[in-house]
Amino acid sequence: MDTKIEKIRNCLLDAEKIRTAGAIIRAGGLVAFPTETVYGLGADALNACAARKIYEAKGRPSDNPLIVHIARFSDLERLSAALPSSAKRLSEAFWPGPLTIIVQKNEIVPYETTGGMDTVAVRMPNHPVALALIRESGGFVAAPSANSSGRPSPTLAGHVADDLDGRISMILDGGQVGIGIESTIIDLTEEIPTILRPGYITREMLQEVIGEVRIDPGILASDCTKKPKAPGMKYKHYAPRAELILVEGEEERVVSKINELSGQAFCDGKRVGVIGTDETCARYQAHVVISIGVRSDEEAIARRLYKVLREFDEMDIDIIYSESFATPNIGQAIMNRLLKAAGYQLIRV
């Protein structure tokens, strides 16, 4: 199949292209599109065959449920007959935006979309192209991140093409995404609402709206032996082709540890990469050193994270050593993704 890439500069001027993309989805096809978090791979969420195609194109395990993207608040009620009051409060506070809520599904949502679960994940993205596409597609678009299963999520249309060219009908290219890591997921079917995946919307922000919120112990690094509740969080994820190892501790010690490890890997004949920050990059010796940004700017680090991981793939690096990051606010989501990408390999110095 030929994958058509369409640049979208303006939703009004490019309305025709978005209409064509919507027609593809309504006919059961696949279209990748930008959201504020990462690029999504869209299909009609209410069409079992279309949902199945997503798993095939991504090489995704079929027990890993998809998020249903909507563009109108009232459409949430069509997906679930048993909405808790917290669903209404959270959607009003954070939609459109990077928050996915999990509620009981009703019969219009096929099990192909929910990976066999009786619950459904729903979000309203905050991106004009995504919202326009969802409207043109009939209102309910199932969309995982538009990467091959296991690879870093795409933050540029080019990343989508690298992974899925020839497997999907169209890519809407809306430029670089704004946030760069996937939405926060909160499960509202538990007695105490539970975060299954950390993201830009933090626990504190959620607690201000609905009171007590737990974090699924399965997503915390120190508890990586526990089974996470979001099926997708148990798979190896976000991983570059090279081995990735994180080093955590006080700055001076981290720099010298990474240089020591790089030196050893170099002697073993490996091509070595380092992920540092603007503050430390000049002090590293490796084949490739990439700065992820200024340490204090968590939002910029989140935006660059997956792009940096993909850049090492293009440079045939065998092993990457990365600094670790503090975990207030969005830092928790950054470390969650980095730890998963590293297969939880972390050295404390």
Calpha distance 287→299 (Å, rounded): 27
Q: Looking at the chain, how many residues does it have?
A: 349
Task: Enumerate the β-bridge partners of residue 67.
Answer: 121
Closer by beta carbon to ligand TXA, 119 or else 259: 119
What one-character-per-residue DSSP string does 53-95 give? HHHHHHT--TTSPPEEE-SSTTHHHHH-S---HHHHHHHHHH-
Q: Which of 52, 157, 164 is nearest to 112 (CA)?
A: 52
- Of residues 126-155, which lie at the interface with Mg ion (CB under 5 A)? 145
Closer by beta carbon to ligand TXA, 43 or else 265: 43
**Residue 185 binds: one of ligand TXA, Mg ion, none (C-beta under 5 to 8 A by kind):** ligand TXA
Nearest approach in angstroms of CB 35 to ligand TXA is 5
Q: If binding is defined by CB under 5 A, does position 262 make contact with Mg ion?
A: no
Nearest approach in angstroms of CB 17 to ligand TXA is 19
Nearest approach in angstroms of CB 84 to Mg ion is 26
Closer by beta carbon to Mg ion, 199 or else 276: 199
Q: Which residue is nearest to Mg ion (CB)?
A: 145
Name residue 132's amino acid: A
Residue 11 CB: number of other CB atoms within 10 A? 16
Calpha distance 167→148 (Å, rounded): 10
Q: Which of 304, 3, 28 is nearest to 146 (CA)?
A: 3
Lookup result for tokens 């981290």: 254
**Residue 286 binds: one of ligand TXA, Mg ion, none (C-beta under 5 to 8 A by kind):** none
Residues in touch with ligand TXA (CB under 6 A): 35, 37-38, 40, 64-67, 100, 102, 114, 117, 119-121, 125, 143-145, 182-183, 185, 196, 229-233
